[in-house]
Amino acid sequence: MSAPTAAPSDTERRIRVWLLLWGGLLGLSVLKFGNPVVLDRQIPAPGSWSDAMSDPWPVRWAWWLLLPLVLPAIPWMIREGRTQFRHLNRWLWVPAVLWFGWQVLSMAQTVDRPLSALAITQFAGVLVAYGTGLTLITNRQRLSWAMAAVVAAFCLCLMRSVNQRLEFPQMRAALLEGERTDWTNFPPATVLDLERQQFIISTNGVRRANPLILVKLERERVYGTLVYPNALASVVLLLLPLSWTLVSDLTRSARPVTRWAALGLVSGLGVVALVWSGSKSGWLIALLLLGALGWRQPLPRRLRTGALALLAIAGILAFAIRFRGYFAAGATSVGARMDYWSAAWKTTLAEPILGTGPGTFQRPYARLKSPDSEMARLAHNDYLEQFSDSGIPGGVLYGIWVGGWMLLVGRRCWASNDPLVVSAFLGTAAWFAQGVSEFGLYVPALAWTAFTLAGATAGITALQTIPSAIPPRSGPHASATRKP
């Protein structure tokens, strides 16, 4: 019979409650702060309770919610951080601090101070999220408390994406009919709301359905509560493994039918959201994620190899069929990204020390872009944008931080027997991988959640190296039941 678990201390209970609130902020971010900070000026404040429930919120509001939440937790972070940092590899936190400091230096000579102020605020939130994970989320119980509200918000985001798939054809038909009838089929208040959301635009005094919106609705690529479809794919890669594991833990004592129904619902929503997002990089990274999970299964090596080979073949064939129209049209988004990346590289060479300022990629791109390319506000590559915005030192420091986390934490997580820690690492690693073609670092919903998990996995695995934190062996299977 196992020994009874000691009741948590008063301080531990307070930290768990605070982590529940922190998770609530991250969950709210998934639902309301899914836009990049550089678009903050274009996000109007909700005009009513109905708008507040259905529309995204200005990103700057996230910081005003974060500040009063974090300030009371600073004494806990300092006290627990003293122990944690003695056992934490310096490569996991020194580059992060130096990177943020370099962003501040870069801002001193930015080409657009308001944009850089927004980016610096976002990066400060990233550092706070990472520090929270490192210092306060040091075991799986705390991780579960911190992620409970996040998983709930993630499920709401997935359900919203399913609704969008059903709504988009009807919405497109209604807009076309409204344009044909001069919008007499809509109440005046609805027309004004559609204008506010730019579903309707005025050209020479004539109201028309926004052609860009019509194209998006025709493609039927869902985005849930995030800024656009690829961001939805990012949050699925980040949170689906962790959500599956948490739901599995919560339903372990339930009836088998209930348990597998819950797991099937989470898995099904995540898979259809990823597929309907139309994200090419998300699809390929998901295949790698499944391969990593499959390789950890306790099966004979030959059987694992054969199963993963079949998975790779099936996944690539499905990818080719699913996106055959995209490649037949010339893979336009790949060409657009090449233009973004070329401009970012040219900017780096022109401003190699401090760049043009955090979050300012759009300023040099407006000058360097190809004449036939659409305007972009971000480089669609978090790593390359660091070089463009803050110079070679800023890009190198960010790369060392992420690379050090992948290597040091990944090695420990891969050897871990805790599915929650492994799933948190794999989801975060998948999110970092998608950063090669996306801008999740500038979206609070994605970056704050990802860096909380990055810090948590680093903090939990750091404690595994402390002898006093590891219970003595009591039998031949003790190592299999060891908990971080």
The distance in angstroms from the start CA to the end CA of the chain is 21
Q: Is the pLDDT of residue 405 over 50?
A: yes
Structure tokens, 310: 């079949």
Strand partners, 208: 201
Express each pLDDT in 31-76 by its tens digit. Answer: 999 999 999 988 988 888 888 998 899 999 999 999 999 999 999 9
Give residue limits of the domains in the chain. Answer: 12-163+228-278+323-465
H or E element at residue 250 = helix 229-250
> pLDDT at residue 468 above 70?
no
Written in H, E and C, the secondary structure of 458-478 is HHHHHHCCCHHHCCCCCCCCH
pLDDT of residue 46: 87
User: Can you list the pairs that 318-327 forms with residues at least 24 positions away whose Cβ atoms lie under 8 Å?
Assistant: 319/280, 319/283, 319/284, 319/287, 322/275, 322/283, 323/278, 323/280, 323/283, 326/280
Q: Report the alpha-carbon distance of residue 308 to residue 292 in Å, rounded.
A: 9
Per-residue b or e along 201-233, where b marks 16 or more CB atoms closer than 10 Å to that residue's CB: eeeeeeeebbeebbebbeebbbbbbbbbbbbbb
Q: What is the pLDDT of residues 286-345, one digit of tens each?
A: 998 888 888 777 778 788 788 778 888 888 888 788 777 766 666 677 788 899 999 999
From CA 325, how far away is CA 192, in angstroms rounded? 36
How remote is the C-alpha of 94 from its chain's centroid?
Answer: 23
In contact, 365 and 376? CB cutoff 8 Å? yes
249, 286 in Cβ contact below 8 A?
A: no
- Backbone region of residue 438 per phi and psi (left: phi > 0; alpha: psi in -120 to 50; beta: other values): beta
CA dist 281 → 234, 318, 333, 349, 451 (Å): 9, 14, 11, 28, 21
pLDDT in tens, 175-217: 999 988 988 888 888 888 888 778 899 888 788 999 988 988 9
pLDDT in tens, 409-442: 999 998 888 999 999 999 999 999 999 999 999 9
The span from the CA of 395 to the CA of 108, in Å, is: 17
Does residue 478 surpass a pLDDT of 50? no
